[in-house]
Structure 1
Amino acid sequence: MSGISSNHPAVVDAAELTVRRTIRIAAPVEKVWAAVTEPEHISRWFGQTELDGAGAGARGTMTFAERGSIPLRVEAMDQPRLVTYRWNNDDALERLPGELDVDHSTVFTFTLEPVSGGTRLTVVESGFDATSDPAANLASHRGGWEVELDKLVALLESGS
């Protein structure tokens, strides 16, 4: 894909039980912010997202064809620099539809920083120690962040 930024893969920190990926997107912070906070934009590159409001405390779901509906909550927001979500994303644990299991969920934070020609976006997901299989979930989410953030870069840099 000519013209699309080339970014490094996600990294697992086994000691801290986190997944981190930093990418560069040739798009302004405002556009990237909308893409990671507004359900209609998130749904274009990630999972089909619905939230009952905006800002910290908003609740909803992120739905994937292969995984179904995953409960989601906005934990923190500092526009346009940081947004943190909590989600139930552990296939091995049963959950009630729509119920966020705070004790067995992970959190992911997007941090945005303006850079020359675009935005540096970092995602850090933590809380894997509370999942059913931390090593398997870390590996799965590492791959997931690579696929999903590559879709975000392609979407924003294609002018969509």
Structure 2
Amino acid sequence: MIDIIAELDEVRRRVHAGERGDQVAVRLERTYSAGVEDVWDALTDPERLARWFLPVSGDLEVGGRFATEGNADGEILRCDRPSTLVLTWGGPESVVTVELAAPDADSTVLTLDHSVAATLVPDSGGALYVGPGWDDAFLALGLHLRGTDLGDPAEFQNSPEVLSYNQGVVQAWEATLRESGMATEEQTQDALVVATAQFTALP
């Protein structure tokens, strides 16, 4: 069973304008009870990725292109073990940056920042289309690092338990978007309708 409240509280969320100031970006941060090498391996080893995220194929080195099964493809821009991974996600102006920090030998802080050029999304409410998906990945990674067998990750992501968890996730991202002040009420409500249907299967 997933402790929904505890898992929701583990993630720190932010919506911002990106480093350039002309982007829509989401940032997630979570501390895992695992060493940094273990977390790095879970994020970069294709065999482990297939157990908690998605099967990944391609040229998995800097400058190489990759594809995730049923989701985005992209290019690996930077890979500095065990601290920094930068890649495009679905297009050159959609960039994901993953950073790991080790406050001690038995814990790792993972920060993920996904920025998209503002010209590619209808408005800042687009943050609600992106953030909840990464929240799901953070949940699955945490369970994997604790030794939980998720079975087929795609089936896990669509399980009633995760869809229920996602209701809280969407609400958390709605609050984060409102706190950012980047979207109007109409934009927030429109994005909320889309995110609710996409991530919780509720109308």
Tell whether the structures are fold-level matches, with TM greater than 0.5: yes
1:12 aligns with 2:15: yes
Matching residue within 68, 75, 78 for 1:76: 78
Counterpart code for 1:27: A
Map 1:20-39 to 2 at 5 A: 20-39=27-46
CA contact (8 A) 1:39 1:51 kept: no
What one-letter code is carried by the residue in structure 2 that aligns with 1:82? T
Whichever residue aligns with residue 10 of structure 1, its letter is R
TM-score (norm 2): 0.61
1:36-47 correspondence runs (5 A) = 36-47=43-54
Q: Say if 1:19 and 1:125, in contact at 8 Å, map to a contact too.
A: yes
Shift in CA distance, 41/133, structure 1 to aligned 2, threshold 3 Å: farther
**Count of residue pairs the alignment pairs up:** 140
RMSD: 2.3
Q: What is the one-letter code of the residue matched to 1:145? A: W
Report % sequence identity. Answer: 24
More helix by share: 2
Three-state SS of the structure 2 residue aligned to 1:27 is: coil
Contact 1:11 1:142 in 2 (8 A): no
Q: Distance in 1 between matches of 2:117 and 2:128?
A: 11
Partner Cα distance (1:58, 1:72) in 2: 9
The corresponding residue for 1:146 is 135
Q: By how many angstroms is 1:50 displaced? A: 1.0
Counterpart pick for 1:121 among 110, 114, 131: 110
Return the letter of the residue paired with 2:36.
Answer: V
Q: Which runs of 5+ in 1 are unaligned?
A: 89-100
For 2:123 and 2:46, how far apart are their aligned partners in 1?
A: 28
For residues 77-125 of structure 1, give each alpha carbon's deviation from its aligned partner in whole angstroms, at most 9, with x where no partner exists. Answer: 111110011011xxxxxxxxxxxx42xx411111011123311110011
CA 142–59 in structure 1, closer or farther in 2 if over 3 Å, else same: same
Letter in 2 for 1:153: G
| Corresponding position of 2:95 | 107
Say which structure, 1 or 2, has more relative contact order (CA 8 Å, 6+ apart).
1
Q: Normalised by the size of structure 1, how large is the TM-score?
A: 0.75
More strand by share: 1
Cα distance change, pair 151–159 in 1 and its aligned pair in 2 (3 A): closer
Q: Which has the larger radius of gyration?
A: 2
